[in-house]
Amino acid sequence: MQVNAKPAAKLMPDPLPKHGNCLFRTPVTPPNHEKPKDAMDLTLDHITHDYDGLSVLDDISLHIPAGEILCVIGPSGCGKSTLLRLIGGLEQPTAGQVLQLGTPPLGCLNPLTYVFQDFALLPWRSVEGNVSLVLEDHGIRGDAAEQIIADVLARTKLSDFRKALPRQLSGGMKQRVAIARALAVNPAVMLLDEPLSALDAQTRELLMEDLIALWTRQPFTGVYVTHNLAEAVRLGHRIAVLSRRPGRLSEVIDIDIPLTERKLGDPRLENIQKRLWDLMKQEALAADQELLHV
């Protein structure tokens, strides 16, 4: 499985695909020592969660290998976003635990980094100010910060908008700033919480291509929560399907097509998407009905 994931895993320990400025941040890199195993896997170990007695997630066990994107899909209210908050430590599961295996890459400032649906940009800071926000606390200022900011803004095609305020940017641009901010801390795992759901269809398509390009240039581990099946089949190496509330893992599907070969309207992807929909349709319908009764 995952024909495309293996070269990715090999790429990870290589210093080249990391930030060009990694020397800046890790001046003590031992040149001849054994390279650190700088990939990080995540394991969800029997995660169960409830809010005030209302069961949201039920016994979820899942392995998230380094260098791969795992998409989590499920009907509305199945606890996808809760699962993501648990993975990144913004909430504590009622039972079970999230385990990190291996060490985060050198120069990684924030191993588990989120990209939020509503962008979560500080409206009073410019584009570069929003990126530098997450560097300041790690003592990265001046030239070192400047290098990282220039690098991530170039990678997200935002170099011309450094001084712009969030209110001047379109939704797609705002999410690019949020992605740039996430890249700036050189994360081991990116946790994407419906990152394209607040955008229109065309912008979504553009940003999906950007995400694929970013991953191709420097493969990252990703957990991508979405309710959009098309996004899941375009971006996911594996797709985890959750049932309706309480969310259980109903199926995990591997897609062997390399990300770069997945194009809009690919019949193979359409087939997988249709299979996913067949899997989910009854659940989604039931979830919809359930909401009416609550």
Partner 1 sequence: MSEPASNTARPVPFRGRGFRPEAKRGAAIVVFVVLIAVIEWGTRTGWITNLTLPRPSDVAATLIELWQSGLLWTHLSLSLSRLVVGSALGISAGISVGVMIGLFSYVRAGLIPLVAALFPIPKIALLPLFVIWFGIDEGSKYALIALGTFTPTIVATYGAVDNVDRTLVRMGQSFGLSWWSIVRKIVLPGALPGILSGLRISLAIGIILLVAAEMLGAEYGIGAYILQAGSLYDLERLFAGVLILSVLGVTISWAIGLAEKRLLRWRT
Binding site for partner 1 (CB under 8 A): 88, 90, 109-110, 112-114, 116, 118, 120, 122-125, 133-134, 136-137, 165-167, 181, 185
154 CB burial (10 A radius; 0-12, 13-18, 19+): exposed
CB of 289 to partner 1, least distance (A): 30
Residue 54 phi/psi, 5° resolution?
-90, 115
CB of 150 to partner 1, least distance (A): 19
CB of 109 to partner 1, least distance (A): 8
Vertex 121: Cα angle to 220 and 141 (nearest 5):
75
Q: Could you tell me where the DSSP H helices lie in the chain?
A: 5-11, 22-25, 80-87, 127-136, 142-155, 171-184, 201-217, 229-235, 267-293
Closest C-alpha among 26, 98, 70, 25 to residue 231: 70
- Judged by beta carbon, residue 45 or residue 118, the one nearer partner 1 is 118
Cis ω before 65 (30° cut-off from 0): no
CB of 161 to partner 1, least distance (A): 15
CB of 137 to partner 1, least distance (A): 5
- Judged by beta carbon, residue 121 or residue 240, the one nearer partner 1 is 121
- Judged by beta carbon, residue 110 or residue 175, the one nearer partner 1 is 110
- Judged by beta carbon, residue 88 or residue 107, the one nearer partner 1 is 88
| Separation between Cα atoms, residue 41 and residue 239, nearest integer Å | 16
Vertex 93: Cα angle to 87 and 99 (nearest 5):
45
- Judged by beta carbon, residue 101 or residue 198, the one nearer partner 1 is 198
CB of 121 to partner 1, least distance (A): 8
* Residue-by-residue DSSP string for 216-240: HHS--EEEEE-S-HHHHHHH-SEEE
CB of 168 to partner 1, least distance (A): 10
Exposed e or buried b per residue across 106-125, where buried means at least 16 C-beta atoms within 10 angstroms of its C-beta: bbbbbbbbbbbbebebeeee
- Judged by beta carbon, residue 124 or residue 277, the one nearer partner 1 is 124
- Judged by beta carbon, residue 137 or residue 143, the one nearer partner 1 is 137
